[in-house]
A and B are shown apart, each in its own frame.
Chain A
Amino acid sequence: MLLQHAAAGAAHPLSGSTAELLWLLPVLPLLGFIVNGLLSLTPAYHAGPADPSASPGADHFQATGASHHEEGEHAEADHAPVRHRFASIVSIVGPLVLVLSFALAASIFATMLGAGEIHTPFIQRYFSWMPAGDLNIEWAYQLDQLSVVMVLIITGVGTLIHIFSIGYMREDPGYPRYFAYLNLFVSFMLVLVLGASYPVMFIGWEGVGLCSYLLIGFWFSAKANADAGKKAFIVNRIGDFGFLVAIFLMYANLGALDFAGVAERSVQLTAGGSLVTAICLFLFLGCTGKSAQIPLYTWLPDAMAGPTPVSALIHAATMVTAGVYLVARSSFLFSLAPVAGLTVALIGGMTALFAATIGLKQWDIKKVLAYSTVSQLGYMFIAVGVGAYVAGIFHLATHAFFKALLFLGSGSVIYVMHQAYHHTHKHDDAQDMRNMGGLRRFMPVTFVLMWIATLAIAGIPIFAGFFSKDEILGAAFARAHESTLADASLLGVPGSAVLYAVYAMGLIAALLTAIYMTRMMLYTFHGENRTGEAERSHLGEAPWVMTGPLVVLAILSAFGGWLNLPAFFTDVLPVGKTASLDHWLEPVVGESALRITHGSSAHLSASTEYLLVGVAVAVAVTGILIAFARLKPSLLGTRTPAQSRASETGIERILANKYYVDEAYDAAIVNPTVQISRKLLWRGVDVGLIDGLFVNGSAWLARGLGLAGSWAQSGQVGTYAWAIVVGVLAVLGAFTVG
């Protein structure tokens, strides 16, 4: 790849520094993808007898999925432990490219810190990608304060999850394929956040969607997993359509597609006008798909069919937050469209509340976390909707830490449960919390780490989630008081009323978050153990290659709030710099944020702020206490999952069935589509019209004409003579009459 110095970049403070190596960031994981992808094409095992030395210990873990069913039938000695023969190479290459990427990102970040105030993005143009008439799209990367934060999160959390995967996927026959997809995902995700224009971002956007599909359906031999992958892909297509329409609108009306160009020309747009509102709403449609917001959130819970580290990386920490990044990146547009901002905040609030209620009654440990993710993404959209872009990115970062920790922790639990079942040849669901209980005795480290993440997500002070969630709720409350959004109205409802409602939804969702997370911890780690005698002896802590990343994430979850300490906190406890992230992102989103707040950066009065924080903390603590008081895992006793499902009534049953949204979508959209496709498009158009009329019809026509011609060729010269005479007479007659 050739580096070309752009005229604008030459004078930039970052030119000539390590930031020039920007292009290497996505290329490194791409190399990993190529190496691992090639290795995955080789047969998994050596021919001949399996080498017993290749299987230290007695782990016969076969991750939840396709292949474990047939194995339980054999005696332990019968089947050789399965490990891909190139697993050791893959274990080095896969995480190594991420480590290198992270190191490069860190050094670029250090360079940026050292370069002082950087007011313009550092744009690197590589080649002209789509020159077509007036439209010239360049393959260009943009480095600024926002993209470097995203790059650090992606490569940092990505590295930890890659390391965890070494343990989690140890004996999977698709080990190189798994790492190939995961590397490819990181590569596309980096393109997404580094792209300097909407089309380049869209390539990353589609690429991560592809990798998400491949990884959800990683164990594709089970139909449910393949279906979940397809669902994710198709639902995302709807959102991508919105994104594309927004790109078309931008090009048609602004004539530019790179962020700098669009930002420059967006000043021509009428603030609050229908055009900018339409562009923003179409962009947001893209976000609802990728970031699982109402109405397109249904794919994310199903995406849990993939391996658990995938859920942690793609469906919690990075890909699903792309929508939040998109809104923050397009802040110059969203700050011009108060109605779009209100819509984003309202949808975010509704999603936060809605998903949290569903999370209350899920029994699958990963489903709880999936709905929790949807809910937390709702929070981020509240933030970016009301123009608190920094708060949104802050929550994105802290959420990446604690949700990755929760998912990896649940991965450890599932791993251990599965191993125990594997030893005893039992076929229970290793993800159902009703089968767990009391795991704190067996996995004390994971137990403590998971509690740290739970306190973080619930919003208990000093943990990361407290600061970011509080900042979001405070911002929603402040913007309801005074902002361009409060002055606007959404469908006739005044903006301030909408935002107060959003604040209330956020607060209730915070209460529910504390309840369902505590519930998950109670059923998983507390109380009596429900795994059964035989399994109990096989329970234990997961290997260190898995627990190690958890420890790092736990430290980040506990102290991630230091990224952006609020003033009210540092006034009392001067433990760190105030609002570092605010200052850091100021050059990117500061102007847009000010536009929404009428140019004033004044925060709420100190007393209001303390009141809001007090309420938020009280709500979180109440939630945890309610869960401890009301939920009694011991009551679960020996009931099987099926029995306890039958005992659910009323609202419980509705929640356990996720408000029947999937069923409603099936009835309203999926089934009619299938029926129309089958009856009208297949039987009618395809078989009837195209095959019948066009294909067979033209064949019949040719055949009929041939038969007629062949009949006329009787070979009787007399007949021919008659035909000639009749023809001559006809021609003569025609001339005579004419």
Chain B
Amino acid sequence: MINEALFFSAVLFTIGVVGVLTRRNAIIIFMCVELMLNAVNLTFVAFSKLYGAAGQIFVIFVMTVAAAEAAVGLAIIISIFRHRETVNLQNINLLKG
């Protein structure tokens, strides 16, 4: 059972990584990041079956932080869109050194 869960979460994480690396739309990248977080959550839950409830507690934490992050992240994306009329990351390089 643990093998299937870990395999599934690894696939989910990889999808998230590939999505972050290949897509240019900030919203989609954002969703891919959520995918990666949820893949990790899945791993936590799977392991909690073997090692006790600590993993499930961490999942709660991760989901809380992810919710906060989603709120902040979406707010930033919206304000960038208001300024630049785009959410394409290639056009957004304000952090250039």
Residues of A near any B CB (own CB < 8 A): 709-710, 712-718, 721-722, 725
The residues of B that contact A709 with a CB separation of less than 8 Å are: 97
21 A-B pairs whose Cβ atoms sit less than 8 Å apart in the complex: A709-B97, A710-B97, A712-B97, A713-B95, A713-B96, A713-B97, A714-B93, A715-B92, A715-B93, A715-B94, A715-B96, A716-B90, A717-B92, A718-B21, A718-B24, A718-B90, A721-B20, A721-B21, A722-B21, A725-B17, A725-B21
Taking chain A's interface residues, is the majority helix, strand, or loop, or is none over half, making it mixed?
helix
Known: A712-B97, A715-B94. 6 other contacts (CB 8 A): A714-B93, A715-B95, A715-B96, A718-B21, A718-B89, A721-B20
Rounded to whole angstroms, the CA-CA distance of A716 and B90 in the bound complex is 6
**Interface membership of chain B positions 17-36, coded 1 if the CB is closer than 8 angstroms to chain A and 0 otherwise:** 10011001000010000000
Task: Report the nearest A residue to B95, measured CB to CB.
Answer: A715
A717 touching B96 in the complex, CB below 8 Å, given contacts A722-B21, A725-B17: no
User: Is the beta-carbon distance between A716 and B93 smaller than 8 angstroms?
Assistant: yes
Q: Determine how close the nearest CB of chain A comes to the CB of B62; give it in whole angstroms.
A: 18
Rounded to whole angstroms, the CA-CA distance of A75 and B84 in the bound complex is 89
Rounded to whole angstroms, the CA-CA distance of A17 and B42 in the bound complex is 106
Q: Determine how close the nearest CB of chain B comes to the CB of A542; give it in whole angstroms.
A: 83
The residues of B that contact A712 with a CB separation of less than 8 Å are: 97
Which of A710, A714, A715 is the most central at the interface, judged by chain B CB atoms within 10 Å of its CB?
A715
- Chain B contact-residue range equals 10 to 19
The residues of B that contact A718 with a CB separation of less than 8 Å are: 21, 24, 89-90
Give the contacts of B51-97 with A (CB-CB under 8 A): 89-90, 92-97
Q: Determine how close the nearest CB of chain A comes to the CB of B27; give it in whole angstroms.
A: 13
Rounded to whole angstroms, the CA-CA distance of A709 and B96 in the bound complex is 11
Closest A-B pairs by Cβ, 9 of them: A713-B97, A715-B93, A715-B96, A715-B95, A710-B97, A717-B89, A721-B20, A716-B93, A721-B21
Rounded to whole angstroms, the CA-CA distance of A423 and B24 in the bound complex is 100
The residues of A that contact B93 with a CB separation of less than 8 Å are: 714-716
Q: Determine how close the nearest CB of chain A comes to the CB of B73; give it in whole angstroms.
A: 12
Rounded to whole angstroms, the CA-CA distance of A716 and B97 in the bound complex is 11
Rounded to whole angstroms, the CA-CA distance of A710 and B96 in the bound complex is 8
Which of B20, B29, B94 is the most central at the interface, judged by chain A CB atoms within 10 Å of its CB?
B20
Task: Report the nearest A residue to B24, measured CB to CB.
Answer: A718
Rounded to whole angstroms, the CA-CA distance of A725 and B20 in the bound complex is 10
The residues of A that contact B92 with a CB separation of less than 8 Å are: 715, 717
The residues of A that contact B96 with a CB separation of less than 8 Å are: 713-715
Which of A709, A712, A713, A717 is the most central at the interface, judged by chain B CB atoms within 10 Å of its CB?
A717
Q: Determine how close the nearest CB of chain A comes to the CB of B14; give it in whole angstroms.
A: 11
The residues of B that contact A717 with a CB separation of less than 8 Å are: 29, 89, 92, 95
Rounded to whole angstroms, the CA-CA distance of A714 and B92 in the bound complex is 10
Rounded to whole angstroms, the CA-CA distance of A538 and B90 in the bound complex is 100
The residues of A that contact B94 with a CB separation of less than 8 Å are: 715
Taking a contact as CB atoms closer than 8 A, the residue among A715, A721, A722 that contacts B97 in the complex is A715
Rounded to whole angstroms, the CA-CA distance of A725 and B90 in the bound complex is 18
Rounded to whole angstroms, the CA-CA distance of A32 and B23 in the bound complex is 91
The residues of B that contact A710 with a CB separation of less than 8 Å are: 97
Rounded to whole angstroms, the CA-CA distance of A733 and B20 in the bound complex is 21
Q: Determine how close the nearest CB of chain B comes to the CB of A718; give it in whole angstroms.
A: 6
Task: Report the nearest A residue to B20, measured CB to CB.
Answer: A721
Q: Determine how close the nearest CB of chain B comes to the CB of A465; give it in whole angstroms.
A: 88
Rounded to whole angstroms, the CA-CA distance of A710 and B90 in the bound complex is 18
Q: Determine how close the nearest CB of chain A comes to the CB of B12; give it in whole angstroms.
A: 16
Rounded to whole angstroms, the CA-CA distance of A718 and B93 in the bound complex is 10
Q: Determine how close the nearest CB of chain A comes to the CB of B39; give it in whole angstroms.
A: 14
Task: Report the nearest B residue to A710, measured CB to CB.
Answer: B97
Q: Determine how close the nearest CB of chain B comes to the CB of A733; give it in whole angstroms.
A: 15
Q: Determine how close the nearest CB of chain B comes to the CB of A723; give it in whole angstroms.
A: 11
User: Is the beta-carbon distance between B17 and A716 smaller than 8 angstroms?
Assistant: no
Q: Determine how close the nearest CB of chain B comes to the CB of A184; give it in whole angstroms.
A: 63
